[in-house]
Amino acid sequence: MPVYEFECSDGHITEQLVRMGTKSTRCSKCNKRAKKIISQCSFDLKGGGWYADGYSSKGSKSSKKSD
């Protein structure tokens, strides 16, 4: 089974072994519901552009705040 990261509403990150398709689990620290964090590792690997280090997490590059 794959290891996924989950984040609860308090911001705790929990790594858990879960089945494919599991969307949420319990935080191991506060026992609240924690949602799965989709990492960029295996989901956007189409197109064969998986070589550069500059391929950092999508979306987080633009740190503009609409404020």
**Which residues are at the interface with Zn ion (CB under 5 A)?**
8, 10, 12, 27, 29-30
Listed in sequence order, the residues at least 6 apart from 60 whose beta carbon sits closer than 8 Å to its beta carbon are none
Name the residue type at position 33: R
- Please report how close the Cβ of residue 49 comes to Zn ion at its closest, in angstroms: 34
| Residue with Cβ nearer Zn ion (2 or 33) | 33
Q: CB-hemisphere CA count at 13 Å for 24?
A: 8
| Residue with Cβ nearer Zn ion (10 or 15) | 10
- Please report how close the Cβ of residue 52 comes to Zn ion at its closest, in angstroms: 34
